[in-house]
Amino acid sequence: MRLSNVTVVRRIPDKILVFLLVLVFVLAGVLTLPPISLQAAGTKDDYPLTYDNLFDAVQGETNANAAYLAFAQKAKDDGLFQVANLFTATAAAEKKHADEEWEILLALGADPADRPVAGAPTVGTTAQNLQAAFDGETYEYTVMYDGFLATAQAEGNTDAARIFRLAKGAEEIHAGNFSNVTTNLSNANYLKDNYSVVYRCPVCGAVYSKNNLPAANCPVCNVAKANFVAYSSDVLTQTYANLFAAVQGETNANAAYLAFAQKAKDDGLFQVANLFLATAAAEKKHADEEWEILLALGADPADRPVAAAPVVGTTVENLQTAFDGETYEYTVMYDGFLTTAQAEGNTDAARIFRLAKGAEEIHAGNFSNVTTNLSNANYLKDNYSVVYRCPVCGAVYSKNNLPAANCPVCNVAKANFIVYQVSSPGSGGGTTTPDTGETPSVLWMTMSSFVLIVIGSSCVAVSRKKRVLLAS
């Protein structure tokens, strides 16, 4: 039987298929071969002076790394976050130098157990620390690495010579940074403008600020500026730490309120469960927004705080715990966090802290009111069968404190509030939240999947039919 408009795919000969398979395996083997060393393997006996110099270099860079981290903490304690930022980035550069020098030593037969460890750093004032850093960097690029480089070249150790050359160039730039910061230490605007963000070259370790950032490539190793690693002083501020504390607290509150809601439901206090569920959603919103700011400041997504296991008591005890927590947050925690964020100029964090503070005050009032009226079933039914959550600040309102028009915390219109209501008795007496469009409908997903399966089955059937017809 002959069919028109049917494309016939020719079968690939077996010999060609075998050839292609062999080619794939050969290429896979080649691509997974270990890299070829650029320099023939040697021992410390082949490069005796360079071997000793590498040990001295690792010791010096390891000491510098420890000192700069300690200097960064001192600068942070002094409120000099931009100076701390420079010390932190330069500490990472010194560690990189030490690591690469140690790798060469291992290749020359050094015992891994013999790697030098840092000496205890001597920490002075930040001005003294900057001078110590400048002196150290100047010695390294004018004396130490200059001599080590000449020796490595004379002994023919090209790997060590390359590392010494790059480190020498980087240390010269670091010395310039410390000199510049020392000169402008009392000029807060200059430090903020030039050292709030600094950049570390991932190849040679040179650290650049706004005032010496290269236009295109690193002048020491020629790597493209696009590959530089950025360090922001924002992560060293108290607000950064406060945001982490806030996320932890709100995450714990969310988990606790969900557990408290289940306990209230088990006790038949469905209106109380309704309030806990709505407030749990508000705490999650606060945590999510605070975490977004942290991510923008460079936080690692893997470091997001997780909830501690909640301690669940009686519903009366749970209400008291919730009231105490909310009261602490709006009178102490967020009040302090807001003041600090404003002082540090972090307007995004200040806004979130201000809204959360206002919402927590309303939540504390809710929990206090419910505790007072816990034995009055009619009151609870009349006031908490339906509660409303503001989608902007998270404040939760009941019938007795529902605003007439706009949310008093963030001024969003009441028409935008999200409604939480106790479900009908026939459904088991739990609580429900209306569909806000945030979660896809399970029914729609199920129906869509069914339709796709039917279409897919039909396509397979048609394909089989064509093959049968072609065969005939």
Mean confidence (pLDDT) of the chain: 85
Instruction: Kindly report the CATH number that applies to the domain delimited by 48-194.
Output: 1.20.1260.10
- Please, are residues 351 and 290 in contact by the beta-carbon 8 Å criterion? no
CA dist 306 → 13, 278, 327 (Å): 58, 20, 22
Between the ranges 70-79, 441-450, 456-465, where is the mean pLDDT highest?
70-79
Whether residue 97 has pLDDT greater than 50: yes
Q: Which of 16-30, 49-63, 137-151, 379-393 has the least mean pLDDT? A: 16-30
- Top-tier CATH class for 238-385: mainly alpha
Residue 395 is given by DSSP the state -
Whether residue 426 has pLDDT greater than 60: no
Q: What are phi and psi of 119, to 5 degrees?
A: -80, 160
- Nearest residue to 164 (alpha-carbon basis) of 98, 109, 67: 98
Domains in the chain: boundaries: 48-194, 238-385, 443-472
Distance CA 391, CA 395 (A): 8
Residue 298 is given by DSSP the state T
Whether residue 150 has pLDDT greater than 70: yes
- Please, are residues 84 and 68 in contact by the beta-carbon 8 Å criterion? no
pLDDT digits (tens, 9 = 90+) for 427-446: 333 444 433 333 333 333 34
Distance CA 460, CA 472 (A): 19
Helices (H), 156-269: 158-183, 188-195, 238-266
Whether residue 148 has pLDDT greater than 90: yes
Helical pair 145-155 and 158-183, crossing angle rounded to 10 deg? 170
CA dist 373 → 127, 174, 278, 368 (Å): 61, 66, 19, 9
Three-state DSSP class for residue 431? strand
pLDDT digits (tens, 9 = 90+) for 3-54: 334 333 345 555 554 455 445 444 444 333 343 333 445 888 899 999 999 9
pLDDT digits (tens, 9 = 90+) for 350-380: 999 999 999 999 999 999 999 999 999 999 9
Instruction: Measure the N-to-C terminal CA separation of the chain; round to a whole number of Å.
Output: 6
Q: What is the residue type of 126?
A: T
- Nearest residue to 41 (alpha-carbon basis) of 159, 131, 126: 159
- Please, are residues 319 and 312 in contact by the beta-carbon 8 Å criterion? no
Report the predicted TM-score, pTM, of the whole model to 2 decimal places.
Answer: 0.57
pLDDT digits (tens, 9 = 90+) for 309-331: 999 999 999 999 999 999 999 99
Percent of the chain whose pLDDT exceeds 90: 74
Do the domains at 48-194 and 238-385 have one common CATH topology?
Answer: yes
Pair type for strands 197-200 and 207-208: antiparallel
Whether residue 449 has pLDDT greater than 60: no
CA angle 8, 12, 15 (to 5 degrees): 165
